[in-house]
Amino acid sequence: MTFFRLLIACFLMGAGLLAGAVPAHAGTAIGGTLRVKSADAPAPVDGVQLTVQSVQTGQAFRGRSGPDGRFEIALPSAGSYRITLDASSLPSGVLLPADRPATLTVDVQEGQRKLVLYPLERAGAVQEQQGPSAATRVMQVVLDGTVFGLIVAMAAVGLSLIYSVSRIINFAHGEFMTLGALLAFLLSSMAGGPQWPLIASAAVAVLAVGALGGALGTGLLRPLESRAKEHFAILVFTIGLSFAMRYLLLALFESNTQPYREYALQEPLRFAGLAITPRDLVVCAIAVLALLGLGVLLLRTRLGRAMRAVAGDPGLAEATGIDVNRIKRDIWIVGSALAATGGVLMAVSHQVRWDMGYQTLMFVFAAVILGGIGTAFGTIAGGIVLGICMELGTLVFPVELKTALAMLALAAVLLVRPQGLFNRAQRVG
Amino acid sequence: MRMPPSSNSRAVLAVALGISLAIGAAAVQAQPAAGGELKIGTLLPMTGPAAQFGPPMAAAVELAAKDINDAGGVLGRKVTLVHADEAGDANIASQALDRLLSQNIRAIMGTGSTSVTLSLLDKVVRARASMCSGANTGPQLTAYPHQGYFARTSYSQVLQGPVYAQLAIEDGHSKIAILARGDAFGKGLAEAIEQSFKAAGGEVLATIVYDPAQTSFDSEVQRIAGLRPEGVAVIGYDERGKIFRSMIERGLGPRNIGLYTTGVLGPDFWKGVNPADAAVLEKVKQGGSVLTIRGNDFGPRLAAHAPGLRTTQFAPEQYDCLVITALAMTAAKSTDPAVYKSQVPLVTKGEVECTNYSDCVRALASGKTIAYVGPTGPTRLTDKGDPTTARFQIYAVDAKGVSQPVRQVQVKAP
Residues of B in contact with A32 (CB under 8 A): 169
User: For position B18, what pLDDT does the model report?
Assistant: 53
Contact B119, B90 (CB under 8 A): yes
Nearest to B172 among A33, A105, A189 (CB): A33
CA angle B280, B281, B285 (to 5 degrees): 165
- Note whether A43 and A146 are same-domain residues: no
Residues of chain A where predicted confidence (pLDDT) is lower than 70: 1-26, 39-40, 125-131, 228-229, 255, 423-429
Examine residue A423 and state whether it is found in any structural domain, yes or no.
no
Contact A111 B49 (CB under 8 A): no
**Cα of A275 to nearest chain B Cα, Å:** 8
Q: Which of B195, B219, B268 to mutate to test the interface with A (most CBs of A within 10 A)?
A: B219
Examine residue A407 and state whether it is found in any structural domain, yes or no.
yes
Examine residue A428 and state whether it is found in any structural domain, yes or no.
no
- Note whether A410 and A275 are same-domain residues: yes
- Note whether A207 and A332 are same-domain residues: yes
C-alpha–C-alpha distance, residues A350 and A147, integer Å = 11
For residue A57, report the phi and psi dihedrals to the nearest 5 degrees.
-105, -15
**Cα of A144 to nearest chain B Cα, Å:** 8
- Note whether A357 and A245 are same-domain residues: yes
Examine residue A128 and state whether it is found in any structural domain, yes or no.
no
Burial class (CB in 10 A: 0-12, 13-18, 19+), B191: middle
Determine the topology of domain B158-292+392-412 in CATH.
Answer: Rossmann fold (3.40.50)
pLDDT in tens, B230-257: 999 999 888 888 899 999 988 899 999 9
Strand, helix or coil for residue B81: strand
Contact A119 B203 (CB under 8 A): yes
**Cα of A127 to nearest chain B Cα, Å:** 13
What Cα–Cα distance (Å) separates residue A83 from each residue in A47, A106, A111, A275, B13? Answer: 16, 8, 18, 44, 75
Contact B272 A351 (CB under 8 A): yes
Residues with Cβ within 8 Å of B229's Cβ and at least 6 positions away in sequence, in order, are: B173, B175, B176, B177, B205, B206, B252, B257
For chain B, the structural domain boundaries read 37-156+297-389, 158-292+392-412
Nearest to B219 among A35, A101, A391 (CB): A391
Q: Does A41 touch chain B (CB under 8 A)?
A: no
Q: What is the CATH classification number for the domain harbouring A75?
A: 2.60.40.10
Contact B199 A104 (CB under 8 A): yes
Query: Tens-of-pLDDT digits for all 414 residues of chain B?
Result: 444 444 455 555 555 555 554 554 444 444 444 458 999 999 999 887 788 889 999 999 999 999 999 999 999 999 999 999 998 888 889 999 999 999 999 999 989 989 999 999 999 999 999 999 999 988 889 889 999 999 999 877 778 888 899 999 988 898 999 999 988 888 888 999 999 999 998 999 999 999 888 888 888 998 898 888 999 999 988 888 889 999 998 889 999 999 999 877 878 888 888 888 889 999 999 887 776 544 568 888 998 999 888 778 889 999 999 999 999 999 999 999 999 999 999 999 999 999 999 999 999 999 999 999 988 888 889 998 999 887 788 999 999 988 888 888 877 776
Residues of B in contact with A116 (CB under 8 A): 169, 200-201
- Note whether A181 and A299 are same-domain residues: yes
CA end-to-end span of chain B, whole Å?
64
SS3 string of B214-247? Answer: CCCCHHHHHHHHHHCCCEEEEECCCCHHHHHHHH
User: For position B296, what pLDDT does the model report?
Assistant: 64
- Note whether A275 and A409 are same-domain residues: yes
Q: Which of B176, B215, B250 to mutate to test the interface with A (most CBs of A within 10 A)?
A: B215
Q: Which of B175, B194, B207, B216 to mutate to test the interface with A (most CBs of A within 10 A)?
A: B216
User: For position B61, what pLDDT does the model report?
Assistant: 96
Residues of A in contact with B388 (CB under 8 A): none
Architecture of domain B37-156+297-389: 3-Layer(aba) Sandwich (3.40)
- Note whether A283 and A387 are same-domain residues: yes
C-alpha–C-alpha distance, residues B386 and B345, integer Å = 9
Contact B177, B229 (CB under 8 A): yes
Residues of B in contact with A255 (CB under 8 A): 47-49, 51, 238
Q: What is the CATH classification number for the domain harbouring A160?
A: 1.10.3470
C-alpha–C-alpha distance, residues B203 and B209, integer Å = 18
Q: Which residue of B has its CA nearest to A265?
A: B274
Q: Does A27 touch chain B (CB under 8 A)?
A: no
Contact A399 B223 (CB under 8 A): yes
Contact B214 A359 (CB under 8 A): yes
Nearest to B274 among A132, A144, A265 (CB): A265
Q: Which residue of B has its CA nearest to A31?
A: B170
User: For position B1, what pLDDT does the model report?
Assistant: 40
Range of the domain at A248: 134-416
